[in-house]
Amino acid sequence: MKILVYLPRSLGASLQALPCLRSLKENFPTASISILPPEKFAQFFLSVTPEYSQVALPEVKEIAGLQRASSRLKKMLFEVGLLLDETFASALLFYLARIPQRWGYDREGRGFMLTKRLSLKAVDPQLHLKYHYLNILEHLGLKVEDRPYHLTLPSNLLTAAETRLRQAGLRPEDPTVVIKPGSSFGPARVWPLNHQVGLIKKLISRSYRVVLVGSQASQEISRQIMPQIDGRAADLTGQLTLEETAGILAMARVYLGNDSGLTHVANFLGVPVVSLYGPTDPHLCGPVQAPAAALKKSVPCSPCSYRSCPYDHRCLENISINEVMEFISSFMTP
């Protein structure tokens, strides 16, 4: 049997789908399972999920592209398509590709294109993303085991990360805290700058080494942080690929981040994680495996979907430097 799994479009959601992918493989051990990841994360998934074949398709943005993609998939003769992405477009792609079995949630009016569909009612409790995806398999009567999931990086990424840290004056054995200071989603998910500066100063005073990572969104904030800490951190923001960043995370003693894909990369690598949640709910999208701490303050305006807070950003302002430091210190203790 040939199965194609359409992964969610965000990095964090795609990672939370991996336990579902593993359960699928355990239910169909002789099947050939392929994944269709987001185009911009394709290389990352090639590195961390070598056990699955990968179908590389460009993001479909127009009718002609949809026709080309569906024609290509049709020739691959997949028998089952599991849609963990919940858009109308993904279901339409599998429908036009004539994949005989199409499984997924009935969302955005796409139910008529699914052969086995799971509908959710407004009164149904919201599940964490990990269980939201596993729920599809349970609904189909398949066996699901809830156990930790661990990412394994290829040795070349670990070697490259060690070299990069040494070039920055750090050793792999140093007590290193890796921090993602910004968010590509927007400033609403970013811990206030003065809090980050204060925390880094505390870390340095205790002889911890600090590495800043993330995309160009984090680079903008790191440029404001570095002068205030006299440059006493290794700033790698905006300089690394996702695969290279994963290698750096694997070297960390603790990772500090927000609601983002890197938080889940670190969590699945087994790195202790301290994650700060403001407008979103960690019970739905936070790290799911120990050791991890998700800090969130109860405020009347959360959850929200604002990219930039229109008020006083109290959800993250109220998370103090001392309580974050306390969790980091607890994870630093052997």
pLDDT of amino acid 326? 97
Query: d(Cα 58, Cα 13) in Å, to the nearest integer?
Result: 19
pLDDT of amino acid 60? 79
pLDDT of amino acid 334? 66
pLDDT of amino acid 231? 95
List the pLDDT tens digit at each of the 334 positions of the chain: 999 999 999 999 999 999 999 999 999 999 999 999 999 999 999 999 999 999 988 887 788 889 999 999 999 999 999 999 999 999 999 999 999 999 999 999 999 999 999 999 888 999 999 999 999 999 999 999 889 999 999 999 999 999 999 999 999 889 999 999 999 999 999 999 999 999 999 999 999 999 999 999 999 999 999 999 999 999 999 999 999 999 999 999 999 999 999 999 999 999 999 999 999 999 999 999 999 999 999 999 999 999 999 999 999 999 999 999 999 999 997 6
pLDDT of amino acid 62? 86
Query: d(Cα 57, Cα 40) in Å, to the nearest integer?
Result: 11
**Helix, strand, coil in percent for the chain, rounding step 5:** 40, 15, 45
Residue 226: partners with Cβ closer than 8 Å, 6 or more residues away: 233, 235
Query: Within the chain, where are the H helices?
Result: 11-16, 18-27, 42-48, 63-75, 88-96, 129-139, 155-167, 193-205, 216-228, 242-250, 261-268, 282-285, 314-317, 321-332
pLDDT of amino acid 210? 98
Query: d(Cα 23, Cα 20) in Å, to the nearest integer?
Result: 5
Backbone angles phi, psi at 315, to 5 degrees: -60, -40
Q: How many residues does the chain have?
A: 334
Domains of the chain: 2-139 (3.40.50.2000), 160-332 (3.40.50.2000)
